[in-house]
A = this chain, B = another copy of it.
Amino acid sequence: MAIKKPSLPKGTRDFGPLQMARRNYIFDIIKDTFKLFGFQQLETPAMENLSTLTGKYGDEGDQLLFKILNSGDYLKDVSPQDLESGAVATLSKVSEKGLRYDLTVPFARYVVMNRNEVTYPFKRYQIQPVWRADRPQRGRYREFYQCDADVVGTDSLVCELEILLMIKRVFSKLGLKDYSIKLNNRKVLAGLAEVIGVPGRESELCVAIDKLDKIGWGKVQEELVSRGFDPKDIEKLQPIIDLKGSNQEKLSFLKDFLSSSEVGIKGIEELQSVLDLLASYGSDETYVDFDVVLARGLSYYTGAIFEVKVNKVSIGSVSGGGRYDNLTGVFGLEGVSGVGFSFGVDRIYDVLEELDLFPKDQLEGTKVLVTYFDEEGVSYGLRVLAALRNSGVESELYPDLAKIKKQFTYADKKQIPYVIVLGSEEINSNKVSLKDLKTGEQTTLSIEEAIQAVKS
């Protein structure tokens, strides 16, 4: 019987040694930063009860959840009538679990279930894959990593400051120089709605304004009209759309523009405070860009809104987040305010690749391959290998008796920078020949000298 070639489910990927080394390079910088700022790691299960997941991501999100079939005779409660009423009506009879769709809802669930054990303010980070039954396309996968940091249990704007600082640190460590952290505040958007005469309708306003970058002001106006906004009210937004200048210039203008709106002024004050805290920390406003039309579509933000864009690359936003007043309300725990953000690791990976910013040097892996010609070489090679590893040098012995050329090809393919060659001369004199594969230079050294050479 012919065996069918195995394949991957669409929208999923394997990560081989090179991709893993590169991903780990990114993850390590992010983790280091989270830890430096006092965030603690959380991991939650891949599977959550559907009762935890459904209703949290809108109708579309519910459809994009991967559902797990109940174990055993999963059809036992399904009747022929059920077949007619269709998949949605029958779902609860065949499935009670789904795969994590994001890291925010599981985090909220964790906080609610552990409300008495958690130390507030709770600074948690979480780096885990999530799954969405989206139509796969370039840059959009059905399994991808999220990388979240949130603080819950405090209203302090120091948290907003820390998000700016963490983003700056991560991007600096990654060598990314041309980017901007767009910053806004939901209260400013609420204020705008008030002063143009549509108080309380900032959500609708946001949904349309959010598309400004993509479709332009003309189309946004059309959309607003079609949503029932009065063109005269919309026109009042014109100075906002035209707004340019430094953060301070924009804040001054808005202070004036929003002077009749209490909530708007509150938003401006919060933004000003965050920038003041940044100055107190000794970090400047470089990369931080107050963007009064930044909305991020998501209606649950109540204060700060962040979005990071790398300039001059094909990929858009690589990080985003904001403050929310009621993370856990949906699970019955009120009054837990928080602020958080997420790094899009897959997108950062693509950006670093596009800009050729991954370190040229081998990222992780074997430093020395020990090669030899015969059985005698194996015994001596094992001794050399032990010495290398005891000194912390990642090293391998080619496991099979093979032509030296084959052993060198292995080193080459695995990008191993040094090869130790053990011939009878080396063995008899208790030495090694160390070859630097980059320069081609080969020297005969004692084992200890060779270890020093590869470590330096």
A46, B392: Cα distance in complex, Å = 33
Residue numbers in B under 8 Å from A78 (CB-CB): 75, 83
Q: Does B8 lie within 8 Å of A45, measured CB to CB?
A: yes
Any B CB within 8 A of the CB of A414:
yes
Give the contact stretch, choosing among A9-17, A209-217, A234-242, A292-300.
Answer: A9-17
A39, B351: Cα distance in complex, Å = 28
Any B CB within 8 A of the CB of A365:
yes
Minimum Cβ distance to chain B for residue A163 (Å): 12
Minimum Cβ distance to chain B for residue A448 (Å): 15
Q: Does A42 lie within 8 Å of B69, measured CB to CB?
A: no
Tallying the copies of this chain within the complex gives: 2
Minimum Cβ distance to chain B for residue A173 (Å): 12
Residue numbers in B under 8 Å from A440 (CB-CB): none
A2, B48: Cα distance in complex, Å = 20
Any B CB within 8 A of the CB of A354:
no
Q: Count contacts on A: residues with CB < 8 A to the other chain.
A: 108
Any B CB within 8 A of the CB of A86:
yes
Any B CB within 8 A of the CB of A413:
yes
Q: Does B45 lie within 8 Å of A97, measured CB to CB?
A: no
Any B CB within 8 A of the CB of A352:
no
Minimum Cβ distance to chain B for residue A302 (Å): 17
Q: Does B399 lie within 8 Å of A156, measured CB to CB?
A: yes
Q: Does A14 lie within 8 Å of B41, measured CB to CB?
A: no
Within 8 A of B (CB), among A161-184: 161
Q: Does B158 lie within 8 Å of A397, measured CB to CB?
A: yes
Q: Does A158 lie within 8 Å of B378, measured CB to CB?
A: yes
Give the contact stretch, choosing among A110-118, A195-203, A254-262, A317-325.
Answer: A110-118
Residue numbers in B under 8 Å from A86 (CB-CB): 73, 75
Q: Does B69 lie within 8 Å of A40, measured CB to CB?
A: no
8 contacting pairs across A/B (C-beta < 8 A) = A5-B332, A36-B392, A46-B46, A46-B99, A72-B87, A156-B399, A158-B399, A280-B383
